[in-house]
Amino acid sequence: MARKTVRVSDISGQEIPDGRGAVVRITFADARRGSRELDVTDAEAEKLGGRQVARRGRKPKAAS
């Protein structure tokens, strides 16, 4: 039997299509509280705002 995983936004309850959406990670200053993750749609992630963080690691050779 085949199974299909359906991702649902934790904020609005809308279904997130395959290849879309984002995961928002919340890390507390007090490390004992751990961290939380939320699945959100693209629109919800843009609405939350925040700052853009540079990608880590080397640039691919083809991009140089």
| Residue boundaries of the structural domains of the chain | 7-51
Residue 50: what pLDDT? 86
Task: Please write the tens of the pLDDT for every residue from 9-59.
Answer: 999 999 999 989 999 999 999 888 899 999 999 999 999 988 888 888 888
Identify the DSSP state of 45.
H
Residue 63: what pLDDT? 61
Task: Please write the tens of the pLDDT for every residue from 3-22.
Answer: 988 999 999 999 999 989 99
CB 41 within 8 A of CB 14: yes
Residue 6: what pLDDT? 92
Local confidence band at 64 (pLDDT 50, 70, 90 cut-offs)? low
